[in-house]
Homo-oligomer: A and B are copies of this chain.
């Protein structure tokens, strides 16, 4: 690393045609990260660049084989076979920037890369935390233009006045704001989630919508397995809570 604030190190410079850019970094319920990483694995996308920054934590991760990995964001691409749809770029990673200034500089660097690579549209993937258990997660949207909002509504993305009331914080928001300033159209898709757990169930709903938008079939079985695991855990936790409320404290009185 040089002493730059944000450094994108290219391993390859792929030539892509009018690519779609998809962001899935950590956030509420890790919904965006789960969805983007699942998509990445299912389509077999190829890494072409790594993003390092002094706005990430000063930390290396230790892999299972004992080797280290400096915390980072990674960029992947996926060339789709002739005519089936536009090529895809994916942004995934361990962290978002630690400070507001850092988040702006990171998003700025990514938007510059998008402009250089001729990106035609950005999808940012995130979670929409509602603070209570969600049976059937909706997928909410926000977009840079009114035309995009209409287009998304046709694909069953929900636009609900006052949701999210607090706006969209972090990369999923900034890439829309800064993208719009560079003339790149952009949509944020948010899977509804309690926000209490990582939420593969919300990620699954997100990917159903996104794969429709990309005219693409994605095997969701691995995400569904994870969702089932999380559901079993949360159901168990809810049962315990229920028990405690009904009679648990009386039962405990036998102990003493």
User: Could you tell me which A residues sit within 8 Å of B by CB distance?
Assistant: 1-3, 9, 52, 54-62, 64-71, 97-98, 100-105, 107-108, 141-146, 149, 152, 159, 161-164, 167-170, 173-174, 176-178, 180-181, 188
Contact = CB atoms under 8 A, between A and B. Distances in A.
B149 A60 contact: no
A87 B173 CA distance: 36
Contacts of A59: 167-170, 173-174
A173 B105 contact: no
**How many copies of this chain does one complex carry?**
4
Nearest to A101: B54
Given A67-B149, A188-B68, A105 B54 contact: yes
Contact of A68 (B9, B103, B143, B161): B143
A177 B142 contact: no
Chain A facing B: main interface SS: mixed
B176 A58 contact: no
Given A64-B162, A66-B142, A70-B181, 6 more contacts: A1-B181, A2-B108, A58-B173, A59-B173, A65-B159, A70-B178
Contact of A65 (B56, B70, B102, B146): B146
B101 A68 contact: no
16 contacts: A1-B108, A54-B105, A58-B174, A59-B169, A60-B173, A61-B167, A62-B163, A62-B164, A66-B152, A67-B143, A67-B145, A68-B142, A68-B167, A70-B177, A70-B180, A71-B167
